[in-house]
Each structure stands twice: as C-alpha cells, then as structure tokens.
Amino acid sequence: MRSLASRRELIEMKKKLRIALILFAFVAMASNFAVAAYAQAEGRPEIGYALIGAGLAIGLAGLGAGLGMGTAGAAAIGALAEKPEVFSKTLIYIVFIEAIAIYGLVISFMILIRI
C-alpha cells in the first residue's frame, strides 16, 4: 500500500512541476515580448526582433536538447544495464545532444552582439 501512496505523490509532484514550468515559460515569453515592444516604441524595431530571435534560439535549442537528452539518456542507461562495454558509444550520443544546446547559446550570443 505504501508504494501506491508514493506513486500518487509522485504523480502529483509531476503535475505541479509541469504547471510551474508552463507558468515560467509564459512569464519568460511575456517579459521578452515586453522588452521587444519597448524597443519598437523607441523607434528601433530591429532590436525587438533581435531579442525575440535570440530568445527563440536559446529556448528552442534548450527544449530540443532536453527532449533528446531524456530519450537518449533513458536508452543509454538501458543499454549500459545490459552491456557495460557500450559506455563510450552512449557517451558520444550524449555529447552530440549537449552540442545542440551549446550551438543555440552561441547563436543567441551572436544575435545579441549585433544589437
């Protein structure tokens, strides 16, 4: 019975975490659009578009890397449980996924430097 209660608590915690992450994403988008709207009101709309582009670059790269890391990480752990000698091969996949997030960060900085 105790495992059932802990499973319900885990499900509730996941629901709360999803809600918190969704709220955080909306606050981040709203603040980004507010800054962009301020830049357009100042007569320089290209700054607003650059800020939106930089935010989308890092946000979508982070989202893609997070989804990929979850999928590849689970598969890597399953493969390591069966055959420990495939550690180096699974590590390469994880490094490539991390590179996607770093590329998004670099693109975002390149956009922000041009402002």
47 neighbors 72 (Cβ within 8 angstroms):
no
Q: What is the pLDDT of residue 59?
A: 87
**Spans of the chain, pLDDT less than 70:** 1-5
Q: Which residues contact 100 (CB under 8 A, 6 or more apart)?
A: 61, 64, 65, 68
Counted residue by residue, the chain has a size of: 115
Q: How far apart are CA 86 and CA 102, in angstroms?
A: 25
pLDDT digits (tens, 9 = 90+) for 59-89: 889 888 988 888 888 888 888 899 989 888 8
Domains of the chain: 2-113 (1.20.20.10)
Look at residues 58, 32, 36, 55 and name the one whose alpha carbon lies nearest to residue 47: 36
- Residue 103 is predicted with a pLDDT of 94
pTM: 0.64
Question: What pLDDT is recorded for position 48?
Answer: 75
pLDDT given at position 4: 62
* Separation of alpha carbons 3 and 42, rounded Å: 58
Handedness of CA 52, 55, 57, 59 (dihedral sign): negative
